[in-house]
Structure 1
Amino acid sequence: MIDDVALKLNENYSVNVKAKVLWILGEMGLNYPVQIKVYIEDIAGYLKNSHPKLRERAVNALGRIGRADKNLVIPYMDKLMEMRKDKANNVRLAFIWACENIATNAPELFYEKMEWFYKLISDQDKKVRIEAPEMFRVMGKRKPQYVKPYLEKLQVIADNDENRVVRIHSAGAIRITKKALNEIENAVEN
Structure 2
Amino acid sequence: MNEKEIMSELNNSTKQKEKWNTSIDNVVLILKNTNSKEIKAKSLWLLGEMGLQNSSQIQDHIQIIASFLNDKEPKLRAKAVNALGRIGRTNHLLVMPYWDDMMDMKNDESSDVRMCFIWACENIATNSPDLYSNYMDIFLELISDKNDRVRIEAPEMFRVIGKRKPKYVEPYLDKLQWFADNDLHRVVRIHSAGAVRVTKKALEATKNINE
TM-score band, normalised by shorter chain: over 0.9
Q: Output the TM-score relative to the length of structure 1.
A: 0.99
1:151 and 2:173 correspond: yes
What does 1:18-167 align with in structure 2 at a 5 Å threshold? 18-167=40-189
- The alpha carbon displacement at 1:8 in A equals 1.5
**Partner secondary structure for residue 187 of structure 1:** helix
Cα displacement (A) at 1:55: 0.2
- Classify the secondary structure of the residue corresponding to 1:29: helix
User: 1:2: how far off?
Assistant: 0.4
> How far apart are 1:9 and its partner, in Å?
1.8
Larger CA Rg, structure 1 vs 2: 2
Q: Does the 8 Å CA contact 2:81/2:117 hold for their aligned counterparts?
A: yes
Contact 2:34 2:40 in 1 (8 A): no
Structure 2 counterpart of 1:174, one-letter code: V
Q: In structure 1, what is the Cα distance between the partners aligned to 2:29 and 2:71?
A: 17
Give the 3-state SS of the residue equivalent to 1:112 in structure 2.
Answer: coil
- The alignment's C-alpha RMSD in Å is 0.5
Moved over 3 A (4+): none
Give deviations 1:6-55, integer Å, cap 9, x for gaps: 11221133000000000000000000000000110000000000000000
The alpha-carbon deviation at position 181 of structure 1 amounts to 0.3
Q: What is the CA distance between 1:167 and its match in structure 2?
A: 0.2
CA contact (8 A) 2:111 2:147 kept: yes
**Structure 2 length-normalised TM:** 0.89
Structure with larger RCO (C-alpha < 8 A, sep 6+): 1
Q: Distance in 1 between matches of 2:164 and 2:31?
A: 35
